[in-house]
Amino acid sequence: MKVLTIIGARPQFIKAAVVSRAFKEHRPEVQEIIVHTGQHYDANMSDVFFDELEIPKPDYNLGIGGGSHGQNTGRMIEKLEALMMKVRPQWVLVYGDTDSTLAGALAAAKLHIAVAHVEAGLRSFNRRMPEEINRVLTDHIAEILFAPTETGRQNLLNEGIPEEKIKLVGDVMYDASLFYKGKARKPALPHELNIKDGDFVLCTIHRAENTDDPQRLSGIFQGLGDSGETIALPMHPRTRGKIADYNIAIPDNVWVIHPVGYLEMVWLESNCRLVATDSGGVQKEAYFFGKPCVTMRDETEWIELVEAGWNTLSGTDSKEISTALLAHTAPQSNPFYGDGAIAQKIVARMFG
Ligand code: UDP
């Protein structure tokens, strides 16, 4: 029995780490073959996750990254198709919403290989996001859809996907947060960044809708600056490039560091006062570690955290951001993301 796992971007390495471990522990008879498409290739966006999360080294690395969406997706489909014809797995396993996800799903479907999609059913209802297109198409190709939330399950039903294909299992990122929190490690930080007593805001920005729009990106930095809060910002390479292109000044209260590994990220998330982000995964991790979150987007796929009062949608207007960063929130309820054994359920459903 073979499963071909396709990963390519940072959040996928983290999700695959827990599922891969579940295969080894609970279905050792299954041979997992891991393909890294090469979408994220910097050492601190890729290698560090394989090393510290003990993900098996990829069996294949396609080395495809750095192009446009169309170039990357097309090249991935071509190489993945050839690989799938060689390996002939029972399942192709894809995660989330990147170009690697869609390319893997499309290549498999045309070869009549069943696709399993982890993190199915998430919707922003904003078709201008490349991630939204990737998710919708992948969900309509997949044979088994692992939804992390009831909202996700409902979205799939609303799109006419047969109920028997949908498995509401919970969020594998919750498994990851439980498994790795005991291994969290403080990152190297600038001396001047005084983060004692947890009085700092952890910030990440990487979503194309923000980085590729000079007005939105400058609104974010203006808002972070106006808040006057001490802010630690592990900066995504895409954001770094765009800030230079648009000549945006980094405010004095914002401390930019390199992207950190997951164990260091968990330390920052566990020790900060508040999280400000446009990331999908980081919104939930804020909640997993008991921190309020300001999401610098106009909508979110994780709506239950907004409804429960853990997450505030600020958009990218500077005034909205600075006000939200200084507000005191009082969450009303605790959304359920599963029981921490989600990866185990996923492998059992695939090879039960
Ligand atoms: N992350 C990390 N180091 C960083 C920033 C993020 O390990 O410097 C982790 C974060 O903890 C989360 C995942 O990367 O688990 C989220 O990835 P990202 O924000 O790139 O993508 P998204 O979740 O928006 O798809």
In the prediction, which pLDDT does 192 show? 75
The H or E element spanning position 158 is helix 150-158
In the prediction, which pLDDT does 261 show? 97
In the prediction, which pLDDT does 195 show? 74
pLDDT in tens, 63-78: 998 899 999 999 999 9
Identify whether 192 is part of a domain: no
Q: Give the pLDDT mean for 231-239.
A: 96
- Flag whether pLDDT at 4 surpasses 80: yes
Give percent of the chain with pLDDT exceeding 70.
100
The H or E element spanning position 167 is strand 166-168
pLDDT in tens, 8-63: 999 999 999 999 999 999 999 999 999 999 999 888 999 999 999 999 999 999 99
46, 75: one domain: yes
pLDDT in tens, 195-214: 777 889 999 999 999 999 99
14, 122: one domain: yes
- Flag whether pLDDT at 308 surpasses 90: yes
Per DSSP, the three-state class of 142 is coil
299, 346: one domain: no
Return d(Cα 162, Cα 197) in angstroms, integer.
50
250, 217: one domain: yes
* Contact predicate 118/146, CB 8 Å: yes
Identify whether 177 is part of a domain: no
In the prediction, which pLDDT does 238 show? 95
All residues at 6 or more sequence positions from 191 whose CB lies less than 8 Å from its CB, including other chains: none
Identify whether 180 is part of a domain: no
Measure 219 CA to ligand 1 centroid, in angstroms. 22
Q: Give the pLDDT mean for 233-260.
A: 97
Return d(Cα 23, Cα 292) in angstroms, integer.
33
All residues at 6 or more sequence positions from 206 whose CB lies less than 8 Å from its CB, including other chains: 236, 238, 239, 278, 279
- Flag whether pLDDT at 123 surpasses 90: yes
Report the CATH number at residue 269: 3.40.50.2000
118, 210: one domain: no
Q: Give the pLDDT mean for 107-114.
A: 98
Return d(Cα 188, Cα 222) in angstroms, integer.
26
126, 260: one domain: no
159, 229: one domain: no
Identify whether 298 is part of a domain: yes
Identify whether 13 is part of a domain: yes
Return d(Cα 285, Cα 344) in angstroms, integer.
20
Which atom of ligand 1 sits closest to the CA of residue 96? Answer: 25
Identify whether 319 is part of a domain: yes
82, 209: one domain: no
In the prediction, which pLDDT does 257 show? 95
Return d(Cα 16, Cα 94) in angstroms, integer.
9
Identify whether 42 is part of a domain: yes
Distances (CA, A) of 51 to 20, 61, 308: 14, 16, 36
314, 343: one domain: no
Q: Across the chain, what does the average pLDDT equal?
A: 96
Q: Of the candidates 311, 286, 321, which has an alpha carbon nearest to the alpha carbon of residue 216?
A: 321
| Ligand 1 site-directed mutation target among 240, 265, 283, most atoms within 8 Å of CB | 265
All residues at 6 or more sequence positions from 107 whose CB lies less than 8 Å from its CB, including other chains: 76, 77, 80, 81, 84, 92
- The count of structural domains within the chain is 2
pLDDT in tens, 83-101: 999 999 999 999 999 999 9
Strand 60-61 to 91-95 pairing: unpaired
pLDDT in tens, 161-184: 999 999 999 999 999 999 999 999
Return d(Cα 200, Cα 252) in angstroms, integer.
14
* Contact predicate 205/240, CB 8 Å: no
Return d(Cα 280, Cα 288) in angstroms, integer.
13
28, 136: one domain: yes
Identify whether 184 is part of a domain: no
pLDDT in tens, 322-338: 999 999 889 999 999 99
Q: Output the residue whose Cα is nearest ligand 1's atom 9.
A: 262
pLDDT in tens, 275-289: 999 999 999 999 999
28, 113: one domain: yes
146, 226: one domain: no
In the prediction, which pLDDT does 239 show? 98
Q: Furthest-apart CA pair in the chain: how many Å?
A: 56
Which atom of ligand 1 sits closest to the CA of residue 278? Answer: 24
Could you give the residue numbers annotated as active site?
Answer: 206
In the prediction, which pLDDT does 150 show? 96
* Contact predicate 130/161, CB 8 Å: no
User: Side-chain half-sphere of 104: how many Cα atoms within 13 Å?
Assistant: 32
Residues with CB under 6 Å of ligand 1 are 10-11, 14, 204, 206, 234, 259-262, 265, 279-282, 285
Q: Which domain holds residue 205?
A: 201-326
Q: Output the residue whose Cα is nearest ligand 1's atom 14.
A: 11
